[in-house]
Amino acid sequence: MKFYDCATAPSPRRVRIFLAEKGIAVPMVQVNLREGEHLQPAFRKINPEATVPVLELDDGTILSDAIAICTYFEDIHPEPPLIGRTPQERAVTHAWNRRIERDGLSAAMEAFRNATPGLKGRAVPGPDDYDQIPALAERGRTRVGRFFTWMDAHLAAHEFVAGPRYTMADITTQITVEFAKWAKLPVPETCPHLARWFAAVSARPSAKA
């Protein structure tokens, strides 16, 4: 088994935190996104999508999606549960995780990728080039703001994002808050519950992953 990682990128970090919480060690290979290593033929032979993270299994199977990789490790290494022990727990975690991806993480990505000078012509991850759309960066900023407000209200009454335990949905929210900072959208002072929760997840040993 081999994990293709990029230490500075948000998506592989989701998996690294997940693995750290489980106490699983996997051999890591660094892919230098800043130098465009993911767009070179050698890496595109491994993953034609030209994205990280990638998990290569021992039989050569390629998993090129952070959440697919997390579900695999949850299945083969169930403790501690980060998705859930029962069908209902698992479904609730997936529902939260996907909502946060739609309303938070995607919005932060749109805000960042469509406005950052270094990503001109690279507004969408993957092998194809797309121009930045300034109006989409602006819409992303608005959506991140609404996501923060909504998540703050939720966390006012809950210790964790998706139920009584820390789950994969907390990791996705953590990455969203970190990614939003890259887009110069820090958690505002009007969101103290989100800030309290973020300080707590950032103090976990897994945050160093």
Task: Compute the chain's Rg from CA coordinates.
Answer: 17
Q: Retrieve residue 156's tokens.
A: 């006012």
Instruction: Restricting to residues 27-86, name those near a second copy by CB under 8 A.
Output: 49, 57, 61, 63-65, 67-69, 71-72, 75-76
- Measured CA distances, 106 to 30, 34, 118, 176 (Å): 24, 21, 19, 9
Query: Cα–Cα distance between 71 and 16 in angstroms, integer?
Result: 13
* Least spacing, CB of residue 109 vs a second copy, in Å: 11
Q: How many residues bind a second copy (CB under 8 A)?
A: 35
Residue 139 engages a second copy in binding (rule: CB under 8 A): yes
Instruction: Restricting to residues 94-133, name those near a second copy by CB under 8 A.
Output: 94-95, 98-99, 103, 124, 126, 128, 130-131, 133
Q: Retrieve residue 189's tokens.
A: 């002072």
Query: What's the N-to-C CA distance of the chain in angstroms?
Result: 19
Helices (H) and strands (E) in the chain, counts: 8, 4
The stretch near a second copy (CB under 8 A) out of 10-18, 35-43, 134-142, 185-193 is 134-142
Residue nearer to a second copy on the CB measure, 2 or 139: 139
Hey, how many other C-beta atoms are within 10 angstroms of the C-beta on 166?
20
Residue nearer to a second copy on the CB measure, 80 or 130: 130
Contact residues toward a second copy (CB under 8 A) are: 49, 57, 61, 63-65, 67-69, 71-72, 75-76, 87-88, 90-92, 94-95, 98-99, 103, 124, 126, 128, 130-131, 133, 135-136, 139, 142-143, 146
